[in-house]
Amino acid sequence: MSQDRDSLRATARAGSNIAFLKYWGKRDAALNIPLNDSLSMTLSDAHTTTTVAWDPDLKLDEVYIDGERVLDRRGVRVSKHLDRIRAQWYPWHARVASVNSFPAGTGLASSASGFAALTVAAIAAYGEGLPDPDELSRWARLGSGSACRSIHGGYVEWRAGTDHASSRARLFMPGDAWDLSDVVVLVSGHPKEIPSSEGHAIAARHPFMAVRQQLLPARMAAMKGALAARHLPTFGELLEQEALEVQGIMMSGTPSCLYPAGLTIDLIHRLRRWREDGLPAWFTLDAGPNLHVLTESRFAPDVVERVRSVDPRLECLVNRPGGPVTLLSHHLI
Ligand code: PMV
């Protein structure tokens, strides 16, 4: 060890991400190897900051999320991820404190940013330097699949691969290559009825999945082409097609995962009318009711204004392409 025990501490911040082409269904559930490649944008304003302090005298991990000690499933998941990391480095327990920039219970996925920040803080806290981004991405993937994309900033591609070594995310295009915004409309803060871990398993046995896998390589190529060419209408049409295909599989699975709320569907109808009126904005959805409206950043204020005109109480979180995971010198504990 290069450091004394007082300095076995590090803090990392990672942005969440929104998938344009989705990871839904796993080839290997233990290693979070997906059935298909996916493509995302890291979010500038939905991030998690996590401090990990290893303590050789501690008998159990202590996990705090948004200021509260967590002993439920979330704490168990954090400890399970630390188990993997300490099996490779030193067998100590840790105090972990994590805060989300977005309010808890908004239904925004915190597992991508959470596991990316946890991975980097935990490894950095050993004081022996960080592995390269490919390796960090693999480690983050073991905590939560989508977390492997949050190691990078900008536009990110996760190559599904076939095993632990080949399944990792890499930068597709820097964030400043195209100034898109993801306007997240917070439709509901209720916890998901069906967590994504179960959703992935239901999807993997869905009869439509084989057809989806055949369609995806062409869609990925087209989507990457539209991003590289910064062609918003082509990108938008592919974005919606992908979102609706995945929702179709979610809804028609056994059991059914019906993630959109009534208001989500109402907003989609309105968005399509706004588009006919000239607003170039398209949506995507994840495993929840919040609507993600993608547009060029110059049109984001217009999207927010129109959403607010539907109901002034509706909250919107505007995200531009965020940066990669970073180490901070200010610690939470
Ligand atoms: O990383 P997980 O297991 O929470 O899965 C995320 C799945 C989606 O958010 C629905 C899609 C994606 O690619 O992020």
* Cβ–Cβ under 8 Å, residues 118 and 144: no
Query: Does 41 score more than 70 pLDDT?
Result: yes
Q: What number does the ligand 1 atom closest to the CA of 32 have? A: 3
Cα(38) to centroid(ligand 1), Å:
10
Pocket test for ligand 1, best of 22, 74, 200 (most atoms within 8 A of CB): 22
Determine the straight-line distance between the first and last CA of the chain, rounded to whole angstroms. 21
Query: Does 306 score more than 70 pLDDT?
Result: yes
Cα(57) to centroid(ligand 1), Å:
36
For residue 193, the model assigns a pLDDT of 75
* Cβ–Cβ under 8 Å, residues 119 and 133: no
Q: Which residue has the tokens 């062609």?
A: 231
Cα(211) to centroid(ligand 1), Å:
20
Spell out the alpha helix ranges (H) of 125-205. Answer: 133-143, 196-204
Share of the chain above pLDDT 90, in %: 92
Mean pLDDT, residues 67-92: 96
Of all protein residues, whose CA lies closest to atom 9 belonging to ligand 1?
Answer: 286
Cα(17) to centroid(ligand 1), Å:
9
For residue 7, the model assigns a pLDDT of 87
For residue 1, the model assigns a pLDDT of 38
Spell out the alpha helix ranges (H) of 252-294. Answer: 262-276
Mean pLDDT score of the chain? 95
Q: Which has more pLDDT, 73 or 109?
A: 73
Same CATH topology for 5-174 and 177-319?
A: no
Cα(124) to centroid(ligand 1), Å:
25
Give the whole-angstrom CA distance, residue 171 versus residue 78: 26
Give the whole-angstrom CA distance, residue 108 versus residue 101: 11
Determine the CATH number of domain 177-319. Answer: 3.30.70.890
Weakest mean pLDDT among 102-111, 138-147, 202-211, 276-285: 102-111
Query: Does 260 score more than 90 pLDDT?
Result: yes
For residue 105, the model assigns a pLDDT of 61
Ligand 1 pocket by C-beta < 6 Å: which residues? 19, 22-24, 38, 109, 111, 144-146, 196, 286-287
**Residue in 112, 111, 155, 151 with CA at minimum distance from that of residue 134:** 151
Cβ atoms < 10 Å from Cβ of 309 = 10
For residue 319, the model assigns a pLDDT of 98
Cα(18) to centroid(ligand 1), Å:
9
For residue 17, the model assigns a pLDDT of 97
**What does the buried/exposed string (b/e) look like for 3-14 if buried means 16 or more CB atoms within 10 Å of the residue's CB?**
eeeeebbbbbbb
Pocket test for ligand 1, best of 23, 118, 246 (most atoms within 8 A of CB): 23
Give the whole-angstrom CA distance, residue 151 versus residue 147: 7
Query: Does 4 score more than 60 pLDDT?
Result: no
Q: Which two tokens stand for residue 262?
A: 């009534």
Q: pTM score > 0.85 for this model?
A: yes
Determine the CATH number of domain 5-174. Answer: 3.30.230.10
Mean pLDDT, residues 20-39: 98
**Residue in 260, 306, 262 with CA at minimum distance from that of residue 280:** 306
Q: What number does the ligand 1 atom closest to the CA of 23 have? A: 13
Q: What number does the ligand 1 atom closest to the CA of 22 have? A: 13
Of all protein residues, whose CA lies closest to atom 4 belonging to ligand 1?
Answer: 196
Give the whole-angstrom CA distance, residue 57 versus residue 246: 47
Domain parsing of the chain, residue ranges: 5-174, 177-319
DSSP annotation of 321 reads: B
* Cβ–Cβ under 8 Å, residues 180 and 294: yes
The CA-based dihedral angle spanning residues 44, 168, 78, 65, taken in that order and rounded to the nearest 10 degrees: 0
Mean pLDDT, residues 49-72: 96
Cα dihedral 232, 233, 235, 239 sign: positive
Pocket test for ligand 1, best of 36, 196, 245, 291 (most atoms within 8 A of CB): 196
Q: Which two tokens stand for residue 96?
A: 């972990």
pLDDT in tens, 154-176: 999 999 999 999 999 999 999 99
Q: What number does the ligand 1 atom closest to the CA of 158 have? A: 13
Q: Which residue has the tokens 């008998």?
A: 59
For residue 2, the model assigns a pLDDT of 42
pLDDT in tens, 241-258: 999 999 999 999 999 999
Bridge partners of residue 293, in order along the sequence: 183, 283
Q: Indicate the helix (H) or strand (E) that contains 60.
A: none
Q: What number does the ligand 1 atom closest to the CA of 147 have? A: 1
pLDDT in tens, 269-291: 999 999 999 999 999 999 999 99
Residues present in the chain in total: 333
Q: CA-CA distances (angstroms) from residue 273 to 223, 269, 280?
A: 24, 7, 11
Query: Does 191 score more than 90 pLDDT?
Result: no
Cα(16) to centroid(ligand 1), Å:
11
Share of the chain above pLDDT 70, in %: 96
For residue 330, the model assigns a pLDDT of 96
Mean pLDDT, residues 119-138: 98
Query: Does 106 score more than 80 pLDDT?
Result: no
For residue 210, the model assigns a pLDDT of 97
Please state whether the peptide bond connecting residue 324 to the residue before it is cis, i.e. omega within 30 degrees of 0. Answer: no
Q: What number does the ligand 1 atom closest to the CA of 197 have? A: 3
Cα(247) to centroid(ligand 1), Å:
13
Cα(132) to centroid(ligand 1), Å:
23
Query: Does 312 score more than 70 pLDDT?
Result: yes
**What does the buried/exposed string (b/e) look like for 195-223 if buried means 16 or more CB atoms within 10 Å of the residue's CB?**
ebeebbebbbebeebeebeeebeebbebb
Cα(253) to centroid(ligand 1), Å:
17
